[in-house]
Amino acid sequence: MVVGEFERAFAAGQFDDVANLLAAHGVGVWLPEAGGPVEVGSVMHRALMTLLGAQSQREVVRARQRTMTAMRRQVVEQGRYLGGRAPYGYKLVDAGPHPNRVHARWGRRLRKFAPDPTTARNVRWMFAQRVAGRSAASIARELTGRRVQTPSGRHGAAGEWSERTVIEILRNPRYTGRQVWNRTSTDRSQRAAGADRFAQDRNGMGKWVVSAVVAHPALVSEEDFVAAQSARVVRTGVDGNVHIYRYVGLLQCGECGRRMDAHRVHGRPGYRCRHGHRSSRTRPADAPSNLYRREDQLTVAIVDRLSRQGCRIGGDLDEIEAFLRARRAIVICHRDEVNISLRRCGRRVAATNLTAGCGRRRGRRHNPRAESKPHGQVPS
Ligand SMILES: [Zn+2]
């Protein structure tokens, strides 16, 4: 075996890993740097291979850095598709010759997403249903009932839609027509033994690379995409009226730290915390009483609190809710006041079309309980 360029043959300790195997099969390795055949038993040659391996490794790291920088620029400036499967609802189509003449010469072409006639309407329908307040589980049930083929249907799996699949689709920002890259990272140090794929981690939204231009036809408007992210709960009450709880998932009890439940308070939408007690019978006499907050009173308190934190926001309910959700806010509710922890200023998120500013500076005093949770901060 003759190695012309060692950087392309092995890196780090890879030569060591195969040297004995090759020797056992009588395969010699020739290398210009060794002046001929590498002698596996020679201390000098072993040292040389270690050195070349280290040099090669450094080149790998540098090349990866260069590639990442270039890919980032291609996504942001040109919205270019950088590989991977087309999301459900799209198919890959030809987008002309490759702009790089070297690549174009050997016939490489650009590709982009185009709506898939059969599945794109399912995606549009799913967003519309979600925006109308329907739960992901209910959407999944109807798709299964209508015998719509699942995204993994072609792999022979049963045609059953899971809530998870629907949520994944509703959370994918590529449906807004923008190209998004780096939503996951592959950790090469964590490769599981025997696994043929690297473990993938979800990156926080702050690490996403979002194209500044629209790269392919949108299946959902940016407004509807943001609305679909609001996990607002719509319930039909015993009186047959539809009740909407705007702040579900955003409120935390200031007394015990639990998430507050949607609950009618004097016939109006509101929230309560029972501090973990299921009924009044099991509760010790000295336990604190339930915390109840009416939604309309909460709205006033939230707007007031935000303005004192330097966030300009009007009294429009949709705007307030979208503002809080876009910033993954936690509203800590006490009996007579609220504290709000904003975990992200959504400037860099493509699908955020909010104009309201956020004046929170890093380092300002805020609720320590909320801040102890991991959060994705947008690098400034
Ligand atoms: Zn509580």
Query: In CATH, what number is assigned to the domain containing residue 162?
Result: 3.90.1750
User: How remote is the CA of residue 368 from the centroid of ligand 1, in Å?
Assistant: 17
- Please report how many Cα atoms fall inside a 13 Å half-sphere around the Cα of residue 208, on the Cβ side: 21
For ligand 1, the distance from its centroid to the CA atom of residue 366, given in whole angstroms, is 19
**Residues 151, 97 share a domain:** yes
Are 219 and 254 found together in one domain?
no
* 261 Cα to the center of ligand 1, angstroms: 10
198 with 154, same domain: the answer is: yes
Share of the chain above pLDDT 90, in %: 16
Is residue 126 a part of any domain in this protein? Answer: yes
Residue 236 lies in a domain: no
Q: How many domains are there within the chain?
A: 3
Structure-model confidence comparison of residues 192 and 234, the more confident one: 234
Give the domain range for residue 29. Answer: 6-73
Model pTM score: 0.47
Q: Give burial (CB, 10 Å; 0-12/13-18/19+) of 350.
A: buried
> How many A from CA of 275 to the centre of ligand 1?
4
Spatial distance between the Cα atoms of 340 and 331, rounded to a whole number of angstroms: 5
Cα–Cα distance for residue pair 116/104, rounded to 1 Å: 27
- 142 and 32 together in one domain: no
168 and 262 share one domain: no
Q: Does residue 234 sit within a domain?
A: no
CA of 334 to the centre of ligand 1 (A): 9
Q: In terms of domains, do 49 and 116 share one?
A: no
Q: Is the pLDDT of residue 362 over 50?
A: no
Q: Measured between alpha carbons, how far is 22 from 186 in angstroms, rounded to an integer?
A: 31
Going by their DSSP bridges, the two strands 251-253 and 209-214 should be labelled as unpaired
Residue 89 has pLDDT above 90, yes or no: yes
How far is the centre of ligand 1, averaged over its atoms, from the C-alpha of 341 (Å)?
18
Do 97 and 210 reside in the same domain of the chain?
Answer: yes
CA-wise closest residue to 89 among 64, 70, 117, 109: 117
Indicate if the pLDDT at residue 335 is higher than 70: yes
**How many Cβ atoms from other residues are within 10 Å of residue 335's Cβ?**
11
Distance 333 CA to ligand 1 centre (A): 9
250 CA distance to ligand 1 centroid (A)? 14
Interval between CA 253 and ligand 1 midpoint (Å): 5
pLDDT score of 380: 36
Residues 210 and 97 in one domain: yes
Q: Which carries the bigger pLDDT value, residue 215 or residue 315? A: 215
- Residue scoring higher pLDDT (50 or 206): 50
- Cα-to-centroid distance, 265 and ligand 1 (Å): 16
CB atoms within 10 A of CB 187: 11
Q: How far is the CA of 245 from the centre of ligand 1 (A)?
A: 18
Residue 374 has pLDDT above 60, yes or no: no
Is position 377 within any domain?
A: no
Tell me how far apart the alpha carbons of residues 38 and 46 are, in angstroms, rounded to a whole number: 8
What's the 169 CA to ligand 1 centre distance in angstroms? 34
pLDDT tens figures, 118-143 = 899 999 999 988 877 777 888 888 89
332 with 367: CB under 8 angstroms?
yes
Examine the domain organization and report whether 252 and 365 are in the same domain.
yes
Residues 211 and 143 in one domain: yes
> Do 102 and 222 fall into the same domain?
yes
In this structure, the number of other CB atoms found within 10 A of the CB of residue 4 comes to: 9
Give distance in angstroms: CA of 276 to centre of ligand 1.
7
The predicted structure's pLDDT at residue 284? 74
Establish how many alpha carbons lie within 13 A of residue 53's alpha carbon, considering only the half-sphere containing its beta carbon. Answer: 14
**Is 322 inside a domain boundary?**
yes
Q: How far is the CA of 249 from the centre of ligand 1 (A)?
A: 14
Band of pLDDT at residue 291, cut at 50, 70 and 90: very high
Q: Output the CA–CA distances (angstroms, integers) from residue 273 to 69, 158, 220, 279, in the order listed.
A: 48, 40, 36, 12
Cα–ligand 1 centroid distance for 291 (angstroms) = 7
Q: Could you please report the per-residue DSSP string of 51-81?
A: HHHHHHHHHHHHHHHHHHHHHHHHHHHH---
The reply to whether 85 falls in a domain is no
Q: Cα of 350 to ligand 1 centre, how many Å? A: 35
160: Cα separation from own chain's centroid: 24
Among 192, 226, 260, residue at a domain's last position: 226
Distance between Cα 287 and ligand 1 center (Å)? 11
How many Å apart are CA 351 and CA 230, to the nearest integer?
Answer: 13
Would you state the pLDDT for residue 201?
A: 65
Looking at the structure, do residues 251 and 212 belong to the same domain, yes or no? Answer: no
Q: What is the pLDDT of residue 2?
A: 92
> How far apart are the CA of 258 and the centre of ligand 1, in A?
5
Q: Measure 259 CA to ligand 1 centroid, in angstroms.
A: 8
d(CA 143, CA 333): 38
